[in-house]
Amino acid sequence: METPRNEQVWRKAKRRAAFKMHLRSYLIINTGLWLIYAITNFATFGNDVFPWPVFPMLGWGIGLAMHYFTAYRNLDEQTIAQKEYEKLMRG
């Protein structure tokens, strides 16, 4: 017999699992981009090619940070709306 799930806790667990998968993808892909950069920079005999992997890291990093906050800091739309509702009801 399976015990019933607390839906709010289940949603939070799913958000956190999704963030961990997102973080893993970020780390693997950006490591690959830096390896490509290092190989191509070495192939050009170290002519100081601009470190272009910085741009995808920064752009994707902003999205990853927002994902972190929604997974671990309760900054999702429903939570914020609930807090605003409670504030309005208090007067």
> What local confidence, expressed as pLDDT, does residue 50 receive?
87
- Domain locations in the chain? 10-90
CA atoms 56, 58, 62, 68: torsion sign? positive
Question: Of the candidates 60, 70, 67, 79, which has an alpha carbon nearest to the alpha carbon of residue 8?
Answer: 79
* Helix ranges (DSSP H) in the chain: 7-43, 54-72, 77-90
pLDDT digits (tens, 9 = 90+) for 18-74: 999 999 999 999 999 999 999 888 877 767 778 999 999 999 999 999 999 989 987
Asked if 7 and 16 count as a contact pair (C-beta separation under 8 A), the reply is no
Backbone dihedral region for residue 14 (phi beyond 0: left; psi -120 to 50: alpha; all else: beta):
alpha
> Which pLDDT score, from 0 to 100, does residue 62 have?
97
Give the pLDDT confidence score for residue 26 in this predicted structure. 98
